[in-house]
Copies of this chain bind each other. A is one copy, B any other.
Amino acid sequence: MTVTITAFARSPDRGCGHARDMRVRWALEEVGRPYEVRLLSFDAMKEPTHRRLQPFAQIPTYEDGDLALFESGAIIMHIAEHNAGLLPDAPQARARAIMWTFAALNTIEPPIVDLEITMIIERDKPWYAERLPMLQDRVRTRLGELATHLGDGDWLDGAFSAGDLLMVTVLRRLIGTGLLEDHPNLGAYVARGEARPAYARAFAAQLAVFTGSTASR
């Protein structure tokens, strides 16, 4: 049975790979699982057909036979549980790898997304100059703590895992903000993730959607 995921028909980030289908593509590439992609317009995402799969009208979704899932973190957990390559076998190391998926999504990503949203929708507000540094500081605190934990390690806890996959995609959201540059070890960590062949295949696939949609305009 081929897996089908959903993604934006027109990438809002122009193919930079920040949409959350990138994580799922990368995970599927890491475990060598072929997949198909159903592209959705912003209108189609809000239709009842899609909401039956994803009550919050977002992408990605994941369909495998009669199993349908949403939430990129949950999809990656499912892929990692049913295919080798994203979670260690040793029980304690496995629990810690799962812990890092939650840390990526719940401790590191929220202040980053908050900063992102503010930079997009509050840029012209009179309070922007005062709020921006507050939000940058929240991100800086978390990056400092993460950099201290990572130290000179290659990955967050031993071998590459689903936790690293998610953390790298979360940190990539900071590209262009200058914040990642405070911590060379985090920059090297992101580069290490991007250098994985599975990452490259996933990135190319999502970029091709943007390039294709641009070409067909």
By a CB distance below 8 angstroms, the chain B residues around A57 are 145
By a CB distance below 8 angstroms, the chain B residues around A67 are 92, 95
Give the Cβ gap from A109 to chain B, nearest Cβ, in Å: 8
Within 8 A of B (CB), among A61-102: 66-67, 69-71, 73-75, 77-78, 92, 95-96, 98-99, 101-102
Known: A145-B55, A145-B56, A148-B55. A102 touches B74 (CB 8 A): yes
Asked whether A105 lies within 8 Å of B107 as measured between CB atoms, the reply is no
**Is A19 an interface residue, CB under 8 A from the partner?**
no
Number of A positions contacting B (CB below 8 A): 40
Count of chain copies: 2
Query: How many angstroms from the CA of A75 to the CA of B96 in the assembled complex?
Result: 10
Query: How many angstroms from the CA of A161 to the CA of B109 in the assembled complex?
Result: 25
Asked whether B56 lies within 8 Å of A107 as measured between CB atoms, the reply is yes
Asked whether B107 lies within 8 Å of A110 as measured between CB atoms, the reply is no
- A residues adjacent to B (C-beta < 8 A): 51, 55-58, 66-67, 69-71, 73-75, 77-78, 92, 95-96, 98-99, 101-103, 105-107, 109-110, 113-114, 125-127, 130-131, 142, 145-146, 148-149
